[in-house]
Amino acid sequence: MGVRLVIQAARADAAATRLLGRSGIEFEMIAGELGGEVSSAHLVAAARKASGGIDTVIVCPSITAARRSAVGARHVRDARLSAALKGPAFLAKQLGKRWRRSGGCLIVAIGGGSADDALGAVFRSTLLTMVDALSRALPAAVRVAGVVAGPKSDAAEIARGVARLITGQPPRSGTVLEIGGLPRRG
């Protein structure tokens, strides 16, 4: 039968996600936000129900630019950054519980488009740290890997990087595949 594809889409992303159906890709879309522990648990349960099981989850966290306004721009930016980081962390916690015995793979795809500005650099660095921390904290049966795009990488390059990690030999936990030639410090 092959792999069933289940895609989580926030309300703002639902229309774009539906366009995949026009390209011939068969999938089940689950509407919902990656927010706190409860919403992440509901999303994981809905995905399992839709697919009969989950063995790989790909999460693509992103932050939207805060509107430039004199009042509250920093507060809005901080809230968006916090939400973008908490969602994948809560999702990983729920997956760790589900995959404790059966195993699975969580891949964090990190875009490179905003790596030039300070907020983008902090976001990218924090996600790389999260991949490392989750690979150590989750049960051994749960593999955590990252795909990191360079500043000029497009969505197709990120998708090819993810495909390299999920086809063939499963990645070792903590693996980070860097694409687009962005040097990594540290």
Predicted pLDDT at 137: 93
Domains of the chain: 55-179 (3.40.50.720)
Closest listed residue to residue 111, CA positions, set 64, 66, 147, 165: 147
pLDDT-derived band of residue 5, with 50, 70 and 90 as boundaries? low
Tell me the whole-structure pTM to 2 decimals.
Answer: 0.76
Average pLDDT over residues 59-80: 66
Beta-strand relationship, 142-149 and 176-179: parallel
- Tokens representing residue 45 in the block: 């349960």
Question: Do residues 141 and 101 lie in contact, with contact meaning Cβ atoms separated by under 8 Å?
Answer: yes
Predicted pLDDT at 121: 80
At residue 142, what are phi and psi to the nearest 5 degrees?
-100, 120
- Give the chain's mean pLDDT: 76
